[in-house]
Structure 1
Amino acid sequence: MKKVWSQPYLETCCRSSLHRLCLTGASGRPSGLRDDPCLERMQKMGFVQRSPQGRFLATDAGYARYRQEVLGMKRYRGGR
C-alpha cells in the first residue's frame, strides 16, 4: 500500500510565514502583522506558540516542519 501523507497541509502563505518566523529565532514575530491568520492557524497545528509578551515563536515541531518543507533538509542550525 502507498504511504499516506499524514501531516496537515500548509498553504503557500503559511509556509512563507513559517519561514519568516524561523528567521526571527528566539525573538519571534510580533502580533498585528499581515501573517497573523497563518501564524494562528499554525498555532492550532502545534507549529507555533505565543510568548507571554504575545510574540509568535516556532515550536520544535515548527522547526522540524520548516526543515522539511521550506529548506528541504534534515538539519537546520539557525533556530534549534
Structure 2
Amino acid sequence: MKIWNEPYLETCCRAALHRLVLVGGGGRPDGLKDGPCLERLQGMGLARLRADGRYELTEAGRERHAGEILKLRKAG
C-alpha cells in the first residue's frame, strides 16, 4: 500500500508546472496570471526564480511532473 506524502497540487498549479516543462530552458516570466502558482511551486522546491526574473524547473519539479502529470496523461 503506497502512502501519499507529497503536498497536494491544485489543478492550476499542476498546469503551471506543466507549462514550465513545455518552455524548457527559456523559463516563464514573473508577472503572468500563473504567478501565484509559480510562487507556490517555488515554495515547494519545484521551481526557482532566476536572476533574470524567469521561473525554471528544479530537479524536484521534473520528478514531480514525471510522477504526477505524465502518469495522468498515460492513464487518460
Q: TM-score, normalised by structure 2?
A: 0.88
Which amino acid letter does the alignment assign opposite residue 24 of structure 2? G
Q: State the partner residue of 2:55.
A: 56
Q: State the partner residue of 1:67.
A: 66
Distance across 2 between alignment mates of 1:4 and 1:69: 14
- Post-superposition offset of 1:5: 1.1
What SS is found at the alignment partner of 1:72?
A: helix
**How many residues were matched structurally?**
72
Deviations 1:1-33 (A, max 9, x none): x54211111000000000011101111000110
The CA RMSD measured in Å over matched residues stands at 1.3
- Post-superposition offset of 1:69: 1.1
Distance across 1 between alignment mates of 2:19 and 2:2: 30
Tell me which protein shows more strand as a share of its residues.
2
Runs of 5+ unmatched residues, structure 1: 74-80
Q: After the TM superposition, which segments of 4 or more aligned residues of structure 1 sit over 2 Å from their partners?
A: none
What SS is found at the alignment partner of 2:28?
A: coil
Q: TM-score, normalised by structure 1?
A: 0.84
- Percent of aligned pairs with the same residue? 53
Q: State the partner residue of 1:34.
A: 33
Tell me which protein shows more helix as a share of its residues.
2
Runs of 5+ unmatched residues, structure 2: none
**1:13 corresponds to 2:9:** no
